[in-house]
Amino acid sequence: MKICFLMYPWERVKPDTDSTLRLIHEAACRRHTVALTTTNGLTIRDSVAHAFCNVLKKREKISTGVPTFYKQAEFKRSKLPLAGFDAIVMRSNPPLDPIALNFLDSVRNDVFIMNDLDGLRVANNKLYPASFSGEAAQFIPATHVSKSQDYLEQVLLESPTDKMIMKPLNGFGGHGVIVVEKNAPQNFRSLLDFYTGGGSGNYVILQEYVEGAEKGDVRILMLNGEPIGAMRRVPSGDDPRSNIAAGGSEVKHSLTREEKALCRALGPQLVRNGLYFVGLDVIGGKLIEANVLSPGGITRINKLNRVKLQKNVLDFIEHVVSARDLVEERKNSFRKVIEDAEAL
């Protein structure tokens, strides 16, 4: 299989913890052709979408240690047609680059892209949880989004609780997530001025404060609509953010009955949207965010549970590519029958 990872630059990879590196290592161990590119590497030549890729040179022996694999990796730089790959795995960090998706639109019928481009367009920001309805709606906290400072002040004033969570619409990794309180209106107005960018009008989220948030959140990795692993992320000190990137730490976690119900309710919509590999952030049985661009946590969940979730992900990609190949072979065989009939 020929697989391309559309990701962040190789030199930014943290070999001890990086989830994307685990996927790349697993693909290399399976002797697949592995190419890496970034959104800056996308290009079009003669109306055909290409990417400037670093193609991983195959080694006779691949280190089982991922950090060692990272140090030993050698690449060949090539400009490659995207339609020649069997799979493109989206692992670029937020925010979403809409132009990059436009490059990929031209090859979406030729290549399995994970996650699906339309799904990424729908779900790339923190508004996506609000799209869940029916049974899934019970797992979504009350969320308010606006550029209007007056409206957001009114939301906080009318909140049934004394505090809410505020964050920028396009933030990630816990950046900009804070707790705001009713009894500090002057501070809230100053924060709103900063978060909305004064007169520039950036969107801000005010979200129901879910009890237990001070104890951290649960990261659940979903694959094809089913949970494959989870961990609890615990905040550092008085910092309300439990993201590892924001200083939180991880502990082993088994899904509760409520969390399993949440996964059952949300899984079908994720699959319908082509969001096959997703990281759900859950607090108190409520979905806070869905990471659809580059969900992390593989390395830490592996360590806590002595598993290798990257194997699950590569198994899934191989299965989809194989199924697509069988459909194409079947179609070609039917075409041959028709051509032969025409020649008679």
- Residue 178 CA to its chain's centroid (Å): 22
Which H helix or E strand runs over 231? strand 226-234
Give the model's pLDDT for residue 208: 86
Whether residues 191 and 241 fall in one domain: no
Give me the pLDDT at residue 210, please.
Answer: 87
84 lies in the same domain as 178 = no
In a domain, 14, yes or no: yes
Phi-psi region at 133: left, alpha or beta (left = phi > 0; alpha = psi -120 to 50)? beta
- How many other CB atoms are found less than 10 A from the CB of residue 47? 6
Q: CATH code at 101? A: 3.40.50.20
Domain termination site, one of 69, 98, 114: 114
136: nearest Cα among 244, 42, 269: 269
Residue 131 located in a structural domain: no
Q: Could you give the CA distance from residue 68 to residue 66 in angstroms, rounded to a whole number?
A: 5
232 lies in a domain?
yes
Residues 163 and 181 in one domain: yes
- 7 plus 107 within the same structural domain: yes
188 and 92 share one domain: no
pLDDT at 128: 87
**Number of separate domains in the chain:** 3
CA 274, 216, 13, 176 dihedral sign is positive
Q: What is the pLDDT of residues 267-294, one digit of tens each?
A: 999 999 999 999 999 999 999 889 999 9
Same domain membership, residue 298 and residue 203:
no
Domain boundary among 179, 208, 237: 208
Residue 120 lies in a domain: no
CATH number at residue 190: 3.30.1490.20
| Residues 152 and 252 reside in one and the same domain | no
Whether residue 312 lies inside any domain: the answer is no
Whether residue 195 is found in the same domain as residue 250: no
Per-residue pLDDT of the chain (344 residues; tens, 9 = 90+): 999 999 999 999 999 999 999 999 999 999 999 999 999 999 999 999 999 999 999 999 999 999 999 999 999 999 999 999 999 999 998 888 899 999 999 999 999 999 999 999 999 877 888 888 889 999 998 889 999 988 999 999 998 888 898 988 776 666 788 889 888 888 888 888 888 876 567 889 898 888 887 788 999 999 999 999 999 999 866 555 455 554 578 999 999 999 999 999 999 999 999 999 999 999 999 998 899 999 999 999 999 999 999 999 999 999 999 999 998 899 888 888 888 887 76
Q: Are residues 301 and 217 in the same domain?
A: yes
* CB within 8 Å of 314: residues ≥ 6 apart: 23, 26, 27, 30
How confident is the model at residue 109, as a pLDDT?
Answer: 94
Q: How many CB atoms within 10 Å of residue 241? A: 24
| Residue 135 within a domain | no
Q: Are residues 159 and 186 in the same domain?
A: yes
- Would you say residue 333 lies in a domain? no
Is the same domain home to 74 and 11? yes
Residue 153 lies in a domain: yes
Q: Looking at the structure, tell me whether residues 239 and 196 fall in a common domain.
A: no
Tell me the residue range of the domain where 47 lies: 2-114
- Can you give the pLDDT at residue 344? 64
CATH code for the domain in which residue 263 is found: 3.30.470.20
